[in-house]
């Protein structure tokens, strides 16, 4: 799965983590591993311009999704049997999202993960204009976010455990003979 990210917002964010959230959501939705997605982080004025131009709404917003026109509108990209696809672009505004994160009582990165999953779902044809659609989309969004957080916490726990194990083995002289540069260990001797 190809996910490109460009940060033009001037706000430092954990870009690999945003890509991981997008990849997790796409995987969870059964999107082809050959799919392509672009994530762009922009400043407030750029987002305000996009919001006005495409939604005819004044001021900036937190996230916008731009699905590719070439997708068959009768079938969502997560439908079975679809091959590779250019899904489209997700545009995030970290400065706007930062204000929302403060109000919600969580970190900017948590808010950007939420908005990334939200954008992915929009690209896959989900919407929240009607109450039933909103329930479906937000239930799915919350489930994906919960699973992503659980998976990320487990990965962090495993990484910390590997690091602690490595330190312990090194302290007692049992470090792995295969160093990080040579996973196969020492070569044959002559």
Which positions make up the binding site for Zn(2+)?
A: 118, 122, 128
CA distance linking residue 79 with residue 76, whole number of Å: 6
Nearest C-alpha neighbor of 116 from the set 13, 23, 1: 23
Backbone torsions φ then ψ of 185, nearest 5 degrees: 85, -170
Q: Which residues contact 146 (CB under 8 A, 6 or more apart)?
A: none
Binding residues, as ranges, are: 118, 122, 128
C-alpha distances in Å from residue 24, one per residue of 21, 76, 162: 5, 18, 23
Tokens standing for 35? 């799919």
CA distance linking residue 35 with residue 83, whole number of Å: 8
Say if CB 118 and CB 67 are below 8 A apart. Answer: no
Nearest C-alpha neighbor of 38 from the set 84, 74, 3, 79: 3
């Amino acid at each position: 799965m190809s996910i490109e990210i460009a940060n033009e917002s001037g706000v430092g964010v954990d870009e690999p983590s945003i890509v991981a959230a997008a990849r997790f959501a796409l995987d969870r939705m059964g999107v082809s591993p050959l799919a392509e997605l672009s994530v762009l982080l922009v400043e407030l004025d750029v987002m305000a311009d996009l919001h006005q131009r495409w939604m005819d709404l004044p001021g900036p917003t937190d996230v916008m999704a731009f699905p590719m026109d070439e997708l068959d509108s009768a079938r969502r990209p997560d439908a079975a049997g679809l091959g590779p696809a250019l899904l489209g672009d997700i545009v995030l505004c970290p400065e706007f999202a930062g204000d929302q994160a403060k109000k919600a009582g969580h970190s900017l990165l948590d808010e950007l993960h939420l908005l990334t999953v939200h954008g992915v779902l929009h690209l896959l044809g989900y919407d929240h204009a009607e109450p039933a659609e909103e329930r479906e989309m937000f239930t799915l969004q919350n489930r994906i976010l919960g699973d992503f957080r659980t998976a990320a916490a487990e990965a962090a726990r495993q990484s910390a455990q590997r690091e602690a194990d490595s330190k312990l083995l090194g302290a007692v002289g049992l470090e792995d003979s295969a160093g990080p540069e040579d996973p196969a260990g020492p070569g044959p001797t002559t």
